[in-house]
Amino acid sequence: MAHQRGILDPPQQHAVLMTFDLEDASAAPGRLRFLWEDVSERLHDWYASYRLTVTVGFGLPLFEKLGRAAARPPALKAMPGWEGDDFDPAATQGDLVVQVCGDDRAIVHHAERDVRHHLAPAFAVRDYEVGFGMPGSRGVLGFVDGTGNPHDDARIPVVLIGDEDPAHRDGSYMVLRKIREDLAAWERLDTGRQEQVIGRRKADSAPFDPPESTPPTSHKEKSTVGTPGGEVEILRRSFPFGGRDEAGLLFVCWVRDLAQYETIKGQMAGARNVDGTEPGKDAIEQFYTAVSGGYYYVPPEPEGDGYLGDFLFE
Ligand code: HEM
């Protein structure tokens, strides 16, 4: 089956990320069917030149509220709290997530309004975040973001569920975290100090030369986890955000198993590395605070007359 759009597509210039609460279970199948019909038969075609993508995922509480815990993909779980987080994951986890991306702000707005309209009254918006793209692949810290991502076909085994869970094959898991960055503190560092934090050169994202001169607490080193089975990888596809009072990253990553994300984040947040060395925490953690987040299962596109989420009501 085909994975949903908005996972492997090159990131667009605008994004709206919305989480929803289930309000009326009896209306949910009809509204989800209507949403999928409009997305697949109209929105993706009409706005193809703006690279519009609408991506839908389901959180663990939804399976529980619908009495369908048995339909949950085995690897779907609750997001744990990490040291330094400023939120309660149980309080910000949504029942549903919708990611709407496109290259035009107005088109994204029209589409996300349609999505909200289609989902009501079954689902009500809980959290609503607006993100933007990364010109030159640079986020609000001014560094290139995405260099260390897997590329091309190497992304498939990182992102899509396979033989380990045939019932959910070609689905994926989405990690969503709103990360507020302390830009005032960041901008007090000169470029050399910033490079020590990230572990790459600001001008071109090149690694340090020689590589051994990379600080062990740099983000590059702490987010690299080698295991006997190979490097643990995730596909980051985040969108920065910024306004008068706050700025940061709507951190989005895609994995076939949430353990991939948790292994990397665990090494970043802890002093100790997976290999037993103890360099200290990831230096980047001093400059950000996560303020909301959740985990979602993102099924593959349905076939025939199915719809996204139909497996919840069988
Ligand atoms: C404010 C939050 C964050 C910012 C601004 C940020 C920014 C960056 C930057 C600039 C790089 C270097 C270029 C690149 O390889 O993409 C990077 C690398 C990376 N980041 Fe983050 N990051 C953040 C949070 C996270 C989190 C929460 C994770 C995972 C749990 C993560 C995982 C990674 C990984 C796996 C790499 C690749 C390392 C490499 O091979 O160079 N990052 N990030």
Interval 18-35: pLDDT, tens: 999 999 999 999 999 999
Q: What percent of the chain has pLDDT over 90?
A: 98
With a cut of 80, say whether residue 314 has pLDDT above it: no
Residue with tokens 């062990």: 216
Residue 171: both structure tokens together: 């689905």
Question: Whose alpha carbon is nearest atom 43 of ligand 1?
Answer: 145
Question: What number does the ligand 1 atom closest to the CA of 249 have?
Answer: 1
Q: How far is CA 214 from CA 175, 179, 204, 211, in A?
A: 28, 25, 16, 6
- Give me the helices (H) in the chain, please: 28-38, 44-46, 60-65, 89-92, 105-119, 156-159, 183-187, 191-198, 219-222, 258-269
**Residue 17 confidence class, pLDDT cut points 50, 70, 90:** very high
The pLDDT tens digits of the residues spanning 83-138 come to 999 999 999 999 999 999 999 999 999 999 999 999 999 999 999 999 999 999 99
Residue nearest to atom 11 of ligand 1 (CA): 145
Q: Using CA atoms of 259, 56, 58, 3 in order, give the dihedral in degrees to the nearest 10.
A: -50
CB atoms under 10 Å from CB of 245, counted, come to 6
Check residue 229 and give its pLDDT: 87
Whether 47 shows a pLDDT value over 80: the answer reads yes
- The vertex-312 CA angle with 128 and 90, nearest 5°, equals 45
Alpha-carbon span 265 to 225, nearest angstrom = 10
Mean pLDDT of 217-241: 96
Pocket of ligand 1 (CB under 6 A): 139, 141, 143-148, 179, 181, 198, 200, 205, 219-220, 223-224, 234, 236, 249, 251, 261, 264-265, 268, 284, 288
Residue nearest to atom 28 of ligand 1 (CA): 265
Give the integer Cα–Cα distance in Å for 184 and 15.
25
Q: Mind giving me the DSSP string for 152-195?
A: GGGGHHHHS--TT-GGGTT-EEEEEEEEEE-HHHHHTS-HHHHH
Cα of 145 from ligand 1 centre, angstroms: 7
Q: Are strands 96-102 and 14-22 parallel, antiparallel or unpaired?
A: antiparallel
Q: What is the mean pLDDT of residues 277-289?
A: 98
Question: Is 90 exceeded by the pLDDT of residue 1?
Answer: no
Residue nearest atom 32 in ligand 1 by C-alpha distance: 223
Indicate which atom in ligand 1 lies nearest the CA of residue 234. Answer: 35
Among 79, 214, 236, say which to mutate for ligand 1: greatest number of ligand atoms within 8 Å of CB.
236
CA 58 to ligand 1 center in whole angstroms: 25
Using CA positions, which residue lies closest to atom 33 of ligand 1?
Answer: 223
CA distances 213 to 16, 55, 59, Å, are 39, 41, 42
User: Can you read off the two tokens belonging to residue 283?
Assistant: 């230096």
Nearest protein Cα to ligand 1, atom 5: 141
Q: Output the CA 98–ligand 1 centroid distance in Å.
A: 23
Residues 6+ apart with CB under 8 A from 142: 194, 202
Task: Give pLDDT tens digits for 148-202.
Answer: 999 999 999 999 999 999 999 999 999 999 999 999 999 999 999 999 999 999 9
CA-nearest residue, atom 7 of ligand 1: 145
* Best residue among 85, 143, 145 to mutate for probing ligand 1, ranked by most atoms within 8 Å of CB: 145
